[in-house]
């Protein structure tokens, strides 16, 4: 009997052809990035990133694609994690390196595209901190799958992003939340070329995946008491069944 053709999901993915690096558009935002994100989120963006570290032990390995100015990377190194980061923007990367140097810390930050990371090694923790927002929905799903594949069985995937819309919330509250999301996204789209897209619901998307279990959800409030419009999901990659 002829072999059954593979489904789309079963087909091996072709490697992305090598691409020449484009202009450093994120570099345009590098100088203002920390102040803008801290101000816009009332510190909640930082707190969602930091939540990821609560689930990682000193001495364990951590992968951070798109670390930006490197605040998390440096904090992780300070806590004794072995950090690898891959950043596409030279100016972001140089801020990240300078921050590490100021703290007298060693972090391995590579200039490159995280989508080109080799299949090995796998990491104890992979943190996607406001990274998936860069991509339009179809690409985001693929990039997220790639990053999940970088987590060792038993390891942690932390995803920090905007909190999904609550269907129980009032129309006004949902409109305010949409506006709060679309404003920085629009600014980034103009400045950095990021995609415009709806708020991603990683919890909903990844629910029911046989290789992941949801361990925790941390919602963070702007200025500690405002609306909780930023979220960190903690997933554990299941050990392969014997």
Would you give the binding string for ligand SAM spanning residues 5-44, x where CB under 6 A is met?
---------------------x----------x-------
Kindly tell me which of 68 and 155 has the beta carbon lying closer to ligand SAM.
Answer: 68
Stretch that binds ligand SAM, among 113-121, 173-181, 196-204, 218-226 (CB under 6 A): 113-121
Would you give the binding string for ligand SAM spanning residues 79-108, x where CB under 6 A is met?
-------xxxx--x----------------
Query: Rounded to the nearest 5 degrees, what angle is found at the Cα of 149, between the Cα atoms of 48 and 196?
Result: 55
Q: What are phi and psi of 112, to 5 degrees?
A: 165, -175
Q: Which residue is it, tokens 């590098």?
A: 30
Say whether residue 49 binds ligand SAM (CB under 6 A).
yes
Contact criterion met (CB below 8 Å) for 111 and 93: yes
Say whether residue 113 binds ligand SAM (CB under 6 A).
yes
Minimum distance between the CB of residue 140 and ligand SAM, rounded to whole angstroms?
Answer: 11
Q: Which of residues 127-166 bind ligand SAM (CB under 6 A)?
A: 129-131, 133-134
Q: Which of 42, 65, 155, 164 binds ligand SAM (CB under 6 A)?
A: 65
3-class secondary-structure state, position 28: helix
Six token digits for residue 44: 């909640």
Q: What are phi and psi of 234, to 5 degrees?
A: -115, 115
> What is the length of the chain?
242
Stretch that binds ligand SAM, among 9-17, 51-59, 66-74, 233-241 (CB under 6 A): 66-74
Sheet holding 212-220, edge to edge: 108-111, 82-87, 61-65, 123-129, 151-162, 230-237, 212-220
**171, 30, 11, 41: which is closest to 50 by C-alpha?**
41
Residues at the contact surface with ligand SAM, assessed by CB under 6 A: 26, 37, 49, 65-68, 86-89, 92, 113-115, 129-131, 133-134
């Amino acid at each position: 009997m002829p072999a059954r053709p593979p489904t789309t999901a079963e087909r091996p993915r072709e490697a992305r052809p090598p691409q020449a690096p484009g202009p450093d558009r994120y570099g345009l935002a590098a100088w203002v990035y920390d102040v803008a994100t801290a101000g816009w989120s009332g510190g909640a963006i930082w707190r969602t990133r930091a939540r990821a570290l609560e689930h990682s032990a000193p001495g364990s390995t951590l992968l951070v694609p798109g670390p930006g100015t490197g605040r998390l990377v440096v904090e992780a190194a300070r806590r004794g994690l072995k950090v690898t980061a891959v950043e596409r923007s030279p100016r972001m990367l140089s801020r990240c390196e300078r921050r590490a140097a100021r703290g007298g810390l060693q972090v391995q930050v590579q200039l490159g595209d995280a989508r080109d990371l080799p299949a090995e090694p796998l990491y104890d923790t992979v943190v996607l901190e406001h990274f998936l927002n860069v991509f339009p929905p179809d690409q985001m799903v693929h990039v997220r799958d790639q990053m999940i594949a970088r987590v060792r069985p038993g390891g942690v995937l932390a995803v920090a992003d905007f909190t999904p819309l609550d269907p129980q919330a009032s129309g006004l509250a949902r409109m305010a939340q949409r506006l709060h999301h679309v404003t920085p996204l629009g600014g980034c789209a103009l400045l950095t070329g990021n995609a415009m897209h709806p708020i991603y619901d990683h919890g909903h998307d990844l629910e029911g995946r046989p290789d992941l279990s949801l361990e925790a959800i941390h919602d963070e409030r702007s200025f500690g008491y405002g609306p909780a419009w930023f979220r960190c999901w903690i997933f554990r990659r299941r050990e392969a069944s014997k």
